[in-house]
Amino acid sequence: MLFPMPPLDAPHTDVSTIPALAADVRRTFESGLTRPIAWRRLQLQRLHALLTEREKDLLDALEADFQKPRFEGWATEAGFTATDVRHTLSQLSKWMRPERVRTNLANLPGSSRILREPLGCVLIIAPWNYPIQLVLSPLAAALAAGNCAVLKPSELTPACATLLAKLVPEYLDREAVRVVGGAVEETTALLRERWDHIFFTGGGAVGRVVMEAAAKHLTPVTLELGGKSPCIVDADADLVTAAHRIAWAKFLNAGQTCVAPDYVLVHKSVESALLDELKKVVTEYYGADPQKSPDFARIVNTRHHARLVGLLGDGEAVVGGQHDAATRYLAPTVLTKVKLDGKLMGDEIFGPILPVLAVDSVSEAIRFVRAREKPLALYVYSRSQDTVDEVLAGTSSGGVCVNDCIMHLTVPDLPFGGVGPSGMGAYHGKAGFDCFSHRKSVLDKSTMVDPPLRYPPYSADREKWARRLL
């Protein structure tokens, strides 16, 4: 596909209809429609059908929005989400079972259990960088838990937003799942409504807006944010493998990935060797001229492209650096001699620019990471378990990969989420089901016996026995 492309507007929902839409969805939930396991299974099966039957349409939309390579579109969006849905279907009965817990002596004869019940009506606000996965993967968890959902796709990927607005009502229950199109005005209107949970993926600035709006209704939130995810490469690392995995993770989706390695802290003794390997890998992946490669995506819009180009001056390019505003192209770029006080190292890059900084030791790398906000992900490359343990114990992050990048997201039973400024709450697999469920505690007591121990009038003997039992 050639750039520049003709502009495409995402569908907009009439703001005046949003209160009625929210009320309709709530009536659907209160009717009990979404609670039975049969309904939940059917919706997940239909969602899987959407992802598989309309895979070509989804990949076409991703290509139209930012020239995402079709393999990446399948691997990180349609295929990834379909796998998530299949896993959820296979585990749903188990996740829904009541959880038996021990009953203490004071409540015998009796039994205790925890029931998972749906929260109600949830709002899912998705970003533009993975515009299919980050709408439909949270939706799968919400449906599995028995909720109604309103989806707000990003207006910055209009082809995907348009397609979702078309496909969701074709495949899923129209009374329980709705799509709202638009931008700031429509999102603001949605946030005025009362929801039982808000799931937001995006940047910290908008995350604060979402949290503030949710506080007015005491609505719980899941915030999947981002941050500068560091990559620590020790002197004993397998540099060939490290370079392949770091470059793949960084330049996937042209760096527009919340868990992309944001910068590398490499032991100074192997800095030159790692840079040499990164140079080789970029050519291996994308050829001598990555602009001609069908396997390298484009920046989502001209504003983000200009922002990224403005960061190039904060370092010296040893790989890449070329850019073209007309096609929103920015080459896979590796920078050294990086300014620590510039915007490059101050904000999440969210593009195909990889700063490489040399450090004297792993301890120095840990201090560097700890001096900054807690990241969404952290990556460490080393053959030494002691080094890995030192990094794990000395840093805090949403998740970690040892000797790899990003792939922790693909383990269904690993919760995915941030910590501190990189987010709150988690999903994927059972964590997603739990995210959209309320754990309701239930104590069943027998009426066959009713010891008067807890009832007035109180006495010294009753207190003595109560202290033994409680």
Residues involved in catalysis: 224, 258
Q: Both ends of the chain: CA-CA distance in Å?
A: 71
Residue 252 near residue 281 (C-beta atoms within 8 A): no
Tokens of 4: 């520049």
> Three-class SS of residue 212?
helix
Q: At what angle do helices 204-215 and 184-192 cross, to 10 degrees?
A: 30
**CB-CB contact of 155 with 148 (8 Å):** no
CA 457 and chain centroid, separation = 56
Q: What is the DSSP letter of 427?
A: E
Q: What pairing do the DSSP bridges indicate for beta strands 423-424 and 221-224?
A: antiparallel
Residues 6 or more apart whose CB falls under 8 angstroms from that of 376 comprise 225, 226, 227, 229, 258, 259, 397, 398, 399, 418, 422, 423
Please enumerate in sequence order all residues whose Cβ is within 8 A of that of 267, keeping only pairs 6 or more positions apart, or say none.
233, 234, 235, 358, 359, 360, 361, 362
